[in-house]
Structure 1
Amino acid sequence: MILWVVLTVLTAVAAAVLTIPLVRRQEARADARTATIAVLRDQLADVDVQLAAGTIPPADAEGLRVEIKRRMLAAGHIPDDAPRSLGSRALAGVAIGLAALVALAAGALYSSMGKPGMGDSVGTIAAAPAAAPAAPQASEVAGLITALEKRMESTPEDPNGWRMLGWTYFQSERFADAATAYGKAVALRPDGEGYQSAYGEALTLAANGNVTPAAQAAFEAAVKRDGNDARARYFLGQAKLQGGDSKGAIDDWIRLLGDSAADAPWIPQLRSSIDGAARAAGIDVTARLAAIKQPVSGGASVAAPPMAALAGAAASAAGPAVPGSAPGAPAPSAEQVAGAAAMSPADRQAMITGMVDRLAARLAANPKDEAGWLRLIRARGVMGDPAATAKARDDALKAFAGDAAATARIKAAAAEAGA
């Protein structure tokens, strides 16, 4: 709303700059005629006064009257600066037309080059720390939703299916539907990894960013299951802030910051929340923030979306990042995820193993792909194969021998994967 008020004011100023000179120019000419004639009338009256007082002879007085009247006649015909073919009414219409043209042109230019749909605020505190910079294409998500809805009609007792459906609803910003689907997943598997915090997040966003009692209960259950659940810890701090406990929220968030790896994707949002809450409450947190020593890896985490941890780590094609997955991990396509949802557990595992093996073969042929090695290490770790995880780590270190930064990242990923 503020943006449109500013644009309206700017448009009005531009229109005024164009129209006022057109109107004022005619007014100025009229004022000049009036002032000149008034002065000449005063002079004419002065001649009569001097004649009555006997200071000038009648002949001179008559000559002065003739000259002054001639000047008055001339003053009534002061010419324009340039010939004008339009009358005052027409000129006023032109001025209004120019103002309208400026407004229309500005609106068209902003519609084509600006961002009319952008809100007044760049970000909101309701954004979960697990939020990713990019999401799957809308067409892929729509196709995935249709496939999963049909799947869940025939298998309503599958908690992972409900979780997957909740995730796809969430990606299309259907938060109320996401909360319903996640709620069914939680009812079937209340201790599932990431189930409770995902459910609480969907409830929160369905309530326009307010942490409802049901959402808070879900976040508390998530933290009880896993004290390192970053998403649940973030929103529990948000609940305190909404309840007026700014200090409690800041304390919770600073602890979460200290438990999170320096490159965790939620760090920028978390720091922004801490700074905003501290400024609003008048609390100085500079020294506390400076004293934080974040772990290189591990610590607080967010559960990966259903099937994304494996399929995303194994896929070899580039694609948008999956929310909650490791940085750089490509997203599985709608067909891959929908197909995986319809498979038996054995077939699903075989598909995942095949994808991971193909990634390993590609890296053997092209070992200078650091992002690929990191995905392979994480995939082997998720699959619970320590020997394969260690081999991937060793092969990656061999490929990047001499590159201190790359070897540090490889070792950190391997340690996180359990190798």
Structure 2
Amino acid sequence: MIDFWLAAGLLLLVALSFLLIPVLRERRAQREEDRTALNVALYQERVAELQSQQAEGVLDAAQMDSGRAEAARELLADTEGVAPARVSRLGKPLPLLAAVLVPVLGLGLYLHFGASDKVELTREFAQAPQSMEEMTQRLERAVAAQPDSAEGVYFLGRTYMAQDRPADAAKMFERAVNLAGRQPELLGQWAQAQYFADNKKWSDKVQALTDEALKADPKEVTSLGLLGIAAFEGERYQEAIDYWNRLLAQLPPQDKSREALQGGITRATEKLQASGGKVAQAPAAKAAALLKVRVDLASELKAKVQPGDSVFIFARATSGPPAPLAAKRLTVADLPVTVELSDADTMMPQLKLSNFPEVQLVARISRAGQPTAGEWVGRSGPLPSSTTAPQTLTIDSPDK
């Protein structure tokens, strides 16, 4: 904060200079005026002395005129370059009063409307915290300074969970939901914190939160893990196995939690078998979608495009989110070309080709390199995402 206050002080000095410089100039002008008045008085005294000498017969008329002229030359020399006196309409007290009020008023306004606390937080977050307690204190101050920041509230809730403070975390996740909306991930985090805050007692509130989260996103990982824990604690081992298998399918191969999750599935399997039960076989996984499409450019457009223009080839759901389910980027120089669109080309993990029964193929040329807008486009009709026959797509229409 020292450098901030130094910069503020320098700016304040600049502001005060506009007020104080006229006052200093006025004082200088006053000194010049006083010196001029003194020179005039000396001139008058010299002229009186010459007149006295002439009256006594010491000087004749010619000497008198010569002495008067000499005194006049000295007066002009002494007053040369002196500017005429200026009359200030503001007077002296007003600039001095303003010079005192400007810093006081500026400081008061900054303390009321300023953001010194946010400046300090920014400086703190630029340095790595030395402990979890220090990080928590920073986040708490950040939330206090920016209570409408859903991101700050969310991270504070995650920090409380890491510190085994689920009750505080549940309050933060509830605030985050109120600020950012009822997003599945936030609902899952809120349900998990509430479950542990209630000493691992399942409640209607936790059930409602997990149901809402999975309805919006059937692959929401926190809710799946929590439901598996609750089922295991309630000795509903088959349910625990099913939930954890669904969660395991969402985790990337390198995820460190896969080993612990697999261990939980193994323990649930052993307990189920020890109680005389039999593990139900998981339903066969849905086959991944794979679409083959040959993309070409209409002959009448070949003279209107450049080889380096971008070509975006993607599939999107006919009834669902507008975001592409799978996409690839090429250039006009690559046309004609045959590409394959599959779940491996997905833009977001929760939006896969295999999750939507019907899709539309689109190929777009964009000189600006923007996948959402371009100059020319080709579209297919609706087709099942399980289609295996090769498709043909021609770019032949203006993109509107």
Flag the structure with higher helix content: 1
Larger radius of gyration: 2
Q: Greater share of strand residues, 1 or 2?
A: 2
